[in-house]
Amino acid sequence: MKTFKAPSKSEVSETNQHIFDNLEKNLGMVPNLYAYFGKNETALADYLALQSRKNTLSGKEREVIKLVVSQVNNCIYCLSAHTVVGKMNGFTDDQVLEIRKAAVTFDAKLAALAIFVKQTTESRGEPSPDSVEALFNAGYKEANLIDILIVIGDKIISNYLHKITKLPVDFPVAPEL
């Protein structure tokens, strides 16, 4: 069976070495999943550009999407990373668990978002008309819809990459639901 390993800085291109330096400076580490993107000359920069693009969503909204998609896809790496980032964005441990279940009780707008994201991910792009209507009734606009789908796509990429590579989780492991 093929095993996968995150490369060290010396094993990636000079361009990716500079990105590793920036990640280390900003995050204090190069997460294994980001390091793995470094095996490809352009993928790491492309993926980070996708993640940091200007958008219409708040940091909390993006974390709701990332947690829900990662839960649907059962990606322990991304659940662990986004539990940490979710808490950095102000969510409590209990709120993170509610988000992962798409059963948000503390914020009606985020509840509509979580349900929409869960249905969209589970159905591979065909949420119920009711969840679409609820999303827009909660105050989201069509520009937000596009950004929501981009974040879903972003998270599917990293979920699938981890599920295939099974790289070690280098964040505190998220609790099981």
78 and 110 inside one domain = yes
- Same domain, yes or no: 66 and 123: yes
DSSP 55: -
Task: Count how many domains the chain has.
Answer: 2
Residue 150 sits in which domain range? Answer: 59-165
Which residues neighbour 78 within 8 Å (Cβ) at sequence distance 6 or greater? Answer: 33, 66, 69, 70, 155, 158, 159, 162
Mean pLDDT (the chain) is: 98
Q: Is residue 115 part of a domain?
A: yes
The pLDDT confidence band at residue 94, using thresholds 50, 70 and 90, is very high
What CA–CA distance (Å, rounded) separates 33 from 167?
Answer: 7
pLDDT in tens, 58-88: 999 999 999 999 999 999 999 999 999 999 9
Pull the structure tokens for residue 63. Answer: 């974390």
Same domain, 64 and 48: no
17-31 pLDDT, tens digit each: 999 999 999 999 999
pLDDT of residue 12: 98
Q: Are residues 128 and 146 in the same domain?
A: yes
Distances in whole angstroms, Cα of residue 64 to Cα of each of 1, 43, 59, 98, 145: 34, 24, 9, 10, 14
pLDDT of residue 156: 98
pLDDT for the residue numbered 77: 98
Is residue 6 in a domain? Answer: no
Q: What is the mean pLDDT of residues 53-62?
A: 98
CB–CB of 170/29 below 8 Å?
yes
